[in-house]
Amino acid sequence: MRARTAERGMTLTEVTIVFVLASLVMTGLITFYLNSQAVWMDGSAQAISQREATLVIEAISARARRADSTIVTPGTPYVQVHLRMPGSPPESTYSYWVAGDHRMHEGYLSGSLNVDRGPMLMSEVECFSAHADPALLHIDSLRVKSASGSQITLATAAALQNRGAH
């Protein structure tokens, strides 16, 4: 009989071990990819909501700097910031939040015309609070909820630079 000196091919055991190891590596790579994707989506949703909240704060602050007076109507289901602009006839802008709607709205008054421009942002607004003194508009809290559930809270104060310019 002749002895076998050169083996060709792989045994079933070797193929099984290679397959199991390859499966473990692929499972690890897929898990890493899916987790990375989820983190990226969460970060993107939070960044979008934060940018929207910043734009709302900037818009209200810019109007407050042009205003000569402000009235804040605080309340639990409803908060309104009313800014009176100097000029003839005087024009007013307002921003308001209604708890049931979960949106910040804006509008303006010119004479007897009252125009609601609709929501200022698409993210859900959980809380809005403000107060005013004769020289400043204080936005105490604008809390926005991102699509992923993260909360973003911003606050600011803006000086009424046209105060007394009737």
Tell me the per-residue pLDDT of 78-99, one tens digit each, with 9 for 90 and over. 788 888 888 766 678 888 888 8
The answer to whether the predicted template modeling score (pTM) of the entire model surpasses 0.85 is no
Instruction: State the pLDDT at residue 110.
Output: 73
| Residue 75 confidence (pLDDT) above 80 | no
**Buried b or exposed e, range 121-145, using 16+ CB within 10 angstroms:** bebbbbebbbebeeeebbbbebbbb
24 domain-assigned: no
In a domain, 30, yes or no: no
Are the beta carbons of 116 and 105 closer than 8 angstroms? yes
Q: Would you say residue 14 lies in a domain?
A: no
- For residue 21, pLDDT over 90 is answered with yes
pLDDT at 101: 85
- Are 79 and 73 within 8 A, CB to CB? yes
Domain count, the chain: 1
Per-residue pLDDT reduced to its tens digit, 56-68: 999 999 989 888 8
Q: What pLDDT was estimated at residue 89?
A: 64
Alpha helix (H) residue ranges in the chain: 12-66
Residues 6 or more apart in contact with residue 102 via CB below 8 angstroms: 124, 125, 126
pLDDT at 5: 61
Is 8 inside any structural domain?
no
Report the alpha-carbon distance of residue 34 to residue 128 in Å, rounded. 35
Residue 166 in domain: no
Instruction: Name which of 49, 107, 103 is nearest 81 in CA terms.
Output: 107
CB distance 109 to 94 below 8 Å: yes
CA–CA distances in Å: residue 45 to residues 34, 123, 154, 164 = 16, 9, 16, 42
The residue count for the chain: 166
Full domain range(s) for residue 142: 37-159
3 pLDDT more than 70: no
Please tell me the number of Cα atoms within 13 Å of 105 on its side-chain side: 16
In a domain, 25, yes or no: no
pLDDT digit string, tens, across residues 117-151: 889 988 999 999 999 988 899 999 999 999 889 99
